[in-house]
Amino acid sequence: MRKPKQHIAFKIIFGIVMLIIIFSVIVNHIGYKEFTKSLLSQYADGAFRSAHTAALDIDPDRIEEYAQSGGTTESYLSALDRMDQICNSTGSTFIYVIQPDLTDYNHITFLFSTINHESTYTMYDFGYYRETTNEDYKEKYRKLYEGESEEELVIRDKGYIETDPHITAMIPLKGSDGQTKAILCVQRQMDVLSQARKTYMKKVSITFILFALIVIAGQGLYLKYILLDPVKKITLEAARFAKENVKAGEKLTNTIRSGDEIGILANSVDQMEEQIEGYVNNIEKITAEKEKISTELSLATRIQVSMLPNIFPPFPERTEIDIYASMTPAKEVGGDFYDYFFVDDDHLYMTIADVSGKGVPAALFMMASQIIFGNHALMGKSPADILKDANAAICSNNKEDMFVTAWIGILEISTGKLVAANAGHEYPVLKNAKGKFQILKDKHGFVVGGISGAKYSEYEIQLEPGSKLFLYTDGVPEAANAENKMFGMERMVDALNKDVEASPEGILKNVRNAVDDFVQNAEQFDDLTMLCIEYYGKQQKDN
C-alpha cells in the first residue's frame, strides 16, 4: 500500500496549500503594514490637533517669564490648568512644554507638564532637567528651533525600545518675533493600536486557516471526481482484463466522459481490450496451444512493426530532410523503438529508445512508452518536458519496475536548430556538412521510469545543409561475436565514415553490414535499432 504522500492527490493539494500559505504571509505582511500605517496616521492627526489646541492657551512671548517665576504666577497656572483639561479630554498621555539646550540640544528643561489622570505614569515637575532621549529627538528639536519644520512626529513602536508603544507630536511655540521660544509636545500611548493589530492578525490568520481547510476539502473532492475516481476505474478495469482477458460489458468511455488525458487513456484501454480480445479469439479458433503462442508472437511482431514508421521516404513532399530507420528485434518482438512525425509544419519530432528486458513484456512496455512520448510531443512540449511528464506517467503505475532509455529531439526545419534531451541513452553521432561522423557526448538524465520526479536538461545542435545525425540503441556497439567480443563504438564510427556522402538508408546499411561481418553466425542477444537523418534545409536534396 502506498504512503499518503505518494498519492498524486496529496501532492497536488500540498502544492496548493503551500501557495495559500505563501499568499497569506504576503497578504498578512502587506495588511499589517498598511493597517499600522493607517492607525498611526489617525494617532498622529489627533496628537497634532491636541497640540495646536493646547498652544492656544500659552503665550510664547511669556515663556521666559514662566521659566523665571518658578511656575507660580496666575497666568502660568491658568495655562497649566487648561493644558490639563485638554490632556484628559483628548485621551493624551502627556502634554508638556520644554526648552532644549540650544548649544547642542543634549538636555531639555520642562516648563509645563500635565498627565492623564487615569495614567499610571509619573508627571515631570516644573524645571525638571534631563538628557535628551536620543539623536532622533535632538535632530527634531533642532529643526523646530531653526525653522526647518513646523511640526515633528516621533514614533516609538514596541519591539524597538523597552517602553510601551507611543507617539509624540511636537510643534514650535513662536513668539511675536517669529522665533521659537519653546516646544510643545503631546504624547499618546498606542495601546489601542497594539490591541487592534493583534485582533487583526488573529482574524486574518483564522480566515486563512479556514480558507485553506475549505480549499483542501474542495480540491480533494474535485480531484476525486475528475482524477482519482476515473483513474481507479481504469486501474480496476485493466486489472480485471489482465486477469480474465474478456472485454468489459460496458466501455470505460461510457462512464468516463472526458476529453483530457484521462479520457484518452480510457479510450485506449477500451481499444486495447477490443483488439486483444479479437486477437485471443482468433488464436483460440485457429490453432492449438503451441500454434496459439506462435500466432500471438506473430501478431505482436506485426503490431510492433505497425507502431513504428516503416514507409520510406516518410515525407516525400518535404525536400528539406531525408530520414531512414530500422529495428531488428533479438526475439520475435523487441523492446527498442524509434518514432518521428511533424508536430507542426516546421517542427519534426524524433526519438529512439530502448526498454529494459526482452520479448513480449518489453514490447508491451515499448508500445506504451511510444504512445506516451508521442502524446506529450503532440501537445507541443519540449524534449525535457516530454521526458519529465512521460517519467511521471510511467512511474505512477510501474509495478514491474521496468524503465526505458531515450533520446528525444525536435528539429526546427526552417533553421536547422535541433533541441534534444537524453534520458540515459547512447550518445548520438553527428556529421557536420563537410566533416566526418563524430560521437557527441551529450549530458545524460536518469532513465524514464526509474525514479519519480526526475528532471531532464536540454541542449541545442545547429544542423547545416549536409549535416547527418545517427541514432542507435546499445544493440549496435554491444553486438558480440562467437568469442564474446563486442563490436564497439570505434568500429561503428568507422562504418559510418566508410561513405559519409551516402544517404541515410545507405548509412544504416553500411553499419548493419559491418555488424553482420563482425558477428558472423553468433546469436543476436539484443535488439538492433538505428535511425539516420540528413538535413538539407533550404538547399533541399537533389531529386
Rounded-to-integer distance, Cα 62 and Cα 374, Å = 94
> Hunting for cell 549496435 — which residue is that?
476
CATH number at residue 321: 3.60.40.10
Question: Per the domain annotation, does 217 fall within a domain?
Answer: no
CATH number at residue 22: 3.30.450.20
Rounded-to-integer distance, Cα 398 and Cα 357, Å = 14
| Domain total of the chain | 2
Question: Per the domain annotation, does 3 fall within a domain?
Answer: no
DSSP per position, 414-437: TTTEEEEEEES-PPPEEE-TTS-E
Rounded-to-integer distance, Cα 445 and Cα 405, Å = 9
Of 401, 402, 391, 397, nearest to 356 by C-alpha is: 402
**Per-residue model confidence (pLDDT) at position 96:** 93
Of 538, 272, 503, nearest to 413 by C-alpha is: 538
Helix, strand, coil fractions of the chain, as percent rounded to 5: 45, 20, 30
Rounded-to-integer distance, Cα 116 and Cα 132, Å = 23
Same domain, 191 and 335: no
Of 362, 437, 371, 436, nearest to 404 by C-alpha is: 362
Rounded-to-integer distance, Cα 336 and Cα 53, Å = 91
Q: How many other C-beta atoms can be found within 10 angstroms of the C-beta atom of residue 249?
A: 5
Coil/strand/helix, residue 185: strand
Q: What residues pair up with 531 in beta bridges, in sequence order? A: 325, 471
Pairing outcome for strands 336-344 and 429-431: unpaired
Same domain, 323 and 177: no
Question: Per the domain annotation, does 269 fall within a domain?
Answer: no
**Per-residue model confidence (pLDDT) at position 36:** 65
Same domain, 382 and 530: yes
Question: Per the domain annotation, does 42 fall within a domain?
Answer: yes
Q: How many other C-beta atoms can be found within 10 angstroms of the C-beta atom of residue 99?
A: 22
Long-range own/partner contacts, residues 514-522 (CB < 8 A, 24 or more apart): 514/487, 515/476, 515/479, 515/487, 518/479, 518/481, 518/487, 518/491, 519/479, 519/480, 519/481, 519/487, 520/481, 520/482, 521/482, 522/480, 522/481, 522/482
On the 0-12 / 13-18 / 19+ scale of CB atoms within 10 A, 354 is buried
Same domain, 188 and 332: no
Which residue among 171, 195, 219 closes a domain?
A: 195
Same domain, 190 and 314: no
Q: Which three cell numbers stand for residue 482?
A: 562467437
DSSP state of 455: -
DSSP E strand stretches across 246-320? none
Contacts of 113 (CB under 8 A, 6+ apart): 94, 95, 96, 97, 123, 124, 125, 126, 128
Which residue among 169, 195, 221 closes a domain?
A: 195
Query: Angle, nearest 10°, between helix axes 8-55 and 191-223?
Result: 160
Contact 184, 51 (CB under 8 A): yes
CA distances from 201 to 30, 36, 158, 161, 522 (A): 11, 11, 16, 22, 78
Q: How far apart are the first and last CA of the chain?
A: 61
Rounded-to-integer distance, Cα 278 and Cα 344, Å = 35
Which residue among 151, 167, 195 closes a domain?
A: 195
Q: Which domain holds residue 38?
A: 12-195
Coil/strand/helix, residue 343: strand
Question: Per the domain annotation, does 207 fall within a domain?
Answer: no
Of 187, 217, 58, nearest to 121 by C-alpha is: 187
Same domain, 337 and 485: yes
Same domain, 353 and 493: yes
pLDDT along the chain (543 residues), means of 10: 56 70 71 66 84 90 85 87 92 91 91 89 86 89 91 73 73 92 90 64 75 75 72 76 72 73 74 72 64 59 75 93 91 80 97 86 85 95 97 91 95 97 97 94 95 95 96 94 94 96 96 94 86 87 53
Question: Per the domain annotation, does 147 fall within a domain?
Answer: yes
Rounded-to-integer distance, Cα 498 and Cα 50, Å = 99
Give the Cα-Cα-Cα angle 382, 383, 384 (nearest 5 degrees): 90
Rounded-to-integer distance, Cα 374 and Cα 343, Å = 10
Q: Can you give the pTM of this predicted structure?
A: 0.48
**Per-residue model confidence (pLDDT) at position 238:** 75
Rounded-to-integer distance, Cα 60 and Cα 183, Å = 10
Rounded-to-integer distance, Cα 310 and Cα 265, Å = 25
> Hunting for cell 544504416 — which residue is that?
508
Rounded-to-integer distance, Cα 357 and Cα 329, Å = 12
Rounded-to-integer distance, Cα 140 and Cα 100, Å = 11
Of 538, 532, 480, 477, nearest to 508 by C-alpha is: 532
CA distances from 475 to 321, 424, 425, 492, 515 (A): 26, 15, 12, 11, 10
Question: Per the domain annotation, does 215 fall within a domain?
Answer: no
Rounded-to-integer distance, Cα 130 and Cα 100, Å = 10
Question: Per the domain annotation, does 1 fall within a domain?
Answer: no
